[in-house]
């Protein structure tokens, strides 16, 4: 049996403390956090061989009036909105935030992609409510990320307007609603446990859907790569994967599609999603242990 490393977790991090997360060596990854604190400022430093390597770098700040990301660059480490990059591999990260208690802190890095196995089971499709990303003045640009989050939240029992979520996850520095970390952080504010995770393929995703967890996945495509897509191309889009047809194709809630609920070819979705490193929002009600769910999802 082969295991993939799931995101690394620390739970119940208290104000004034720092958390050290360790994992297989990586050059990039995404930090996630869940807290009920209305205001806070989070910073991190990389670890190598379990020792600090580099200075503390500011990562995010949030207040009731809004949130913003920082994109520092220092001694081979840089942050691009929500993704941390390093010129040299690192095997740990230390996180701190003054005067803030965290229910969860997690770090996820890309995993080795592999093709999923041929689908050989009955259809498995979760009844995820449909929400459109096109809201009023945002008709042209859309809000694919907050719309996807709204669908997952509604499935788990908290139904909010897409506009409300878009305001809550808006990143004033990035000037948009697509900051992955800010999206799952908002799930945490509602009482869910949310992380950004990197999954290896659709089999990996299916293990989560089997546990009643629809996931938001991020992908991009060019002309002809995604049959039936509502747009000819996109350099970044989020949708909700809610299951699979009997043939194994992907049942998706696409917030850009006119009817939202669509079916896309399995091979096409896996290809364009894996090209984007298999990034997903995994959001669950309290009581579902992420370390357990994601570790089991990684088993073959």
Residue 269 lies in a domain: yes
For residues 74 and 62, what is the distance between their CA atoms, to the nearest angstrom?
Answer: 23
CATH number at residue 202: 3.90.70.10
pLDDT at 239: 98
Mean pLDDT check: name the lowest of 10-14, 145-149, 198-202, 211-215.
10-14
Query: Average pLDDT in the 52-59 region?
Result: 95
**Do 149 and 179 lie in a common domain?**
yes
Tokens (6 digits) for 116: 């999923």
What CA–CA distance (Å, rounded) separates 258 from 244? 20
Q: Find out whether 211 and 94 touch, Cβ atoms under 8 Å.
A: no
The reply to whether 190 and 81 lie within a common domain is no
Let me know: does 283 contact 184? Beta carbons within 8 Å.
yes
Looking at the fold, whether 138 and 69 belong to one and the same domain comes out as no
pLDDT at position 298 over 70: no
177 and 50 inside one domain: no
pLDDT (average), residues 219-245: 96
Q: How far apart are CA 37 and CA 76, in angstroms?
A: 31
Contact 67, 170 (CB under 8 A): yes
Q: Indicate whether 199 and 245 sit together in one domain.
A: yes
* pLDDT for the residue 36: 93
Distance, in Å, from the CA atom of 229 to the CA atom of 265, rounded to the nearest integer, reads 10
Residue 297: per-residue pLDDT: 47
Same domain, 280 and 133: yes
% of residues, the chain, pLDDT over 70: 90
Cα gap 245→131, rounded to integer Å: 21
pLDDT(1) > 50: no
- Relative to beta strand 77-80, strand 73-74 is antiparallel
| Residue 14 binned pLDDT confidence (cut-offs 50, 70, 90) | confident
Q: Is the pLDDT of residue 6 over 60?
A: no
Domain count for the chain: 2
Q: Are residues 29 and 167 in the same domain?
A: no
Q: Encode pLDDT of 66-84 as tens digits.
A: 999 999 999 999 999 999 9
Arithmetic mean of pLDDT, 172-200? 96
Residue 4: pLDDT over 50: no
Provide the CATH number for the domain around residue 92.
Answer: 2.60.290
Question: Are residues 132 and 60 both part of a single domain?
Answer: no
pLDDT at 272 over 70: yes
Provide the residue range defining the domain that includes 48: 8-108
136 CB neighbour count, 10 Å cutoff: 7
Residue 137 pLDDT exceeds 70: no
- Whether residue 114 lies inside any domain: the answer is no
pLDDT in tens, 95-105: 998 888 999 89
* Residue 59 pLDDT exceeds 60: yes
Is there a domain that residue 3 lies in? no
The CB density around residue 16, as the number of other CB atoms within 10 Å, is 11
Distance (Å, rounded) from C-alpha 274 to C-alpha 198? 9
Least Cα distance to 128 among 207, 225, 15, 240 occurs for 240
Q: What is the mean pLDDT of the chain?
A: 91
In 210-288, which residue ranges form alpha helices assigned H by DSSP? 266-275
Mean pLDDT of 43-72: 95
Query: In terms of domains, do 291 and 168 share one?
Result: yes
């Amino acid at each position: 049996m082969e295991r993939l490393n799931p995101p690394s977790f620390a739970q119940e991090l208290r104000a004034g403390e720092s958390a050290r997360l360790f994992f297989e060596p990586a050059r990039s990854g995404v930090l996630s956090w869940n807290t009920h604190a209305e205001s806070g400022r989070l910073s991190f430093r990389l670890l190598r061989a379990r020792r600090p390597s580099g200075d503390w770098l500011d990562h995010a700040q949030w207040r009731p009036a809004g949130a913003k990301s920082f994109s520092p660059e220092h001694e081979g480490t840089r942050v691009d909105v929500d993704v941390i990059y390093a010129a040299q591999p690192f095997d740990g990260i230390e996180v701190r935030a003054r005067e803030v208690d965290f229910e969860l802190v997690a770090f996820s890095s890309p995993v080795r992609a592999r093709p999923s196995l041929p689908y050989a089971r009955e259809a498995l499709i979760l009844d995820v409510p449909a929400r459109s990303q096109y809201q009023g003045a945002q008709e042209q640009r859309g809000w694919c990320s907050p719309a996807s989050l709204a669908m997952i939240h509604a499935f788990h029992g908290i139904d909010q307007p897409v506009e409300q979520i878009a305001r809550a996850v808006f990143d004033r520095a990035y000037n948009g609603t697509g900051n992955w970390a800010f999206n799952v952080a908002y799930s945490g504010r509602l009482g869910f446990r949310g992380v950004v995770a990197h999954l290896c393929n659709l089999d990996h995703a299916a293990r989560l859907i089997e546990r009643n967890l629809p996931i938001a996945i991020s992908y991009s495509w060019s002309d002809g790569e995604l049959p039936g897509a509502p747009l000819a191309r996109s350099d970044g889009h989020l949708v909700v994967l809610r299951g699979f047809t009997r043939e194994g194709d992907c049942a998706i809630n696409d917030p850009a599609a006119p009817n939202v609920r669509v079916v896309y070819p399995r091979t096409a979705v896996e290809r364009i999603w894996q090209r984007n490193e298999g990034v997903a929002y995994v959001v669950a009600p309290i009581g579902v242990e992420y370390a357990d769910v994601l570790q089991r999802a990684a088993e073959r």
